[in-house]
Amino acid sequence: MPKDSTLADVVTLDRYDRQILELLQHHGRINNQELAERIGLSPSPCLRRVRALEDSGLITGYRALVDAKRLGHSLTALLHISMDRHTPERFANFETKVAALPQVQECLLITGQEADYQLKVVVHDMDDYQNLLLNQITRIEGVTGAHSSFVLRRVLEHRPVPSHPDTAY
C-alpha cells in the first residue's frame, strides 16, 4: 500500500490548479485543449500545470470506473478484521496477503473500532463470499475475527476529493 501523506506534504494550489483537479476528477478523459478552454488558459501552460501536478504526486493516476454488477459481481461486503498482535510484521504480512486477493477493492487500517482493518470486497454471490472469507481471509496468520456487513445500495461512490479546504459540496 502507498505511504500516506503527512501535513508536511500538503501542496498549495492556485485557482487554475484547483480547477484542473476538479475537472480531471469529473472528466478524466478530457483532452488538454478542452481542459485549457474550460479553465481559461492556453494549451501549453495548461499541459505544464497538469504535468507538474502529476510529477508532484498530487495526481496519482487515471483509471476507468467499472460497473461490478455488469461483470457478475453482485455482492459487495465490508469486513472488519481483528488481528491478534499489533506489530509491524503482523500488519505487513496481512497487507501483503490481502493485496494478492483480486476481490479486495479497498483495505484500510482503522482505529476507533474493535477491528484493525476494514476491507471492501466484491464477489459474485454469497457462496463466493463464503469461500473468500473462510478459505482465504480467515486463514491469514494473525486474523482473529471477521465481522461482515453487506451493501444494500450505494449512496455515494467515487466522490471527487475537494481541491481546496473551503470547497463545499
Top CATH class of 13-55 equals: mainly alpha
pLDDT in tens, 35-55: 999 999 999 999 999 999 999
In angstroms, how far is CA 123 from the centroid of its own chain?
18
Fold that domain 68-150 belongs to in CATH: Alpha-Beta Plaits (3.30.70)
CA distance 154 to 107: 18
Nearest one of 97, 155, 129 to 117, comparing CA atoms: 97
Least confident window among 27-41, 112-126, 148-162: 148-162
Judging by DSSP bridges, how do beta strands 75-83 and 143-150 pair with one another? antiparallel
Identical fold for domains 13-55 and 68-150, yes or no, is no
Domain boundaries, the chain: 13-55, 68-150
More confident residue, 73 or 94: 94
CA distance 154 to 156: 6
CA distance 158 to 169: 14
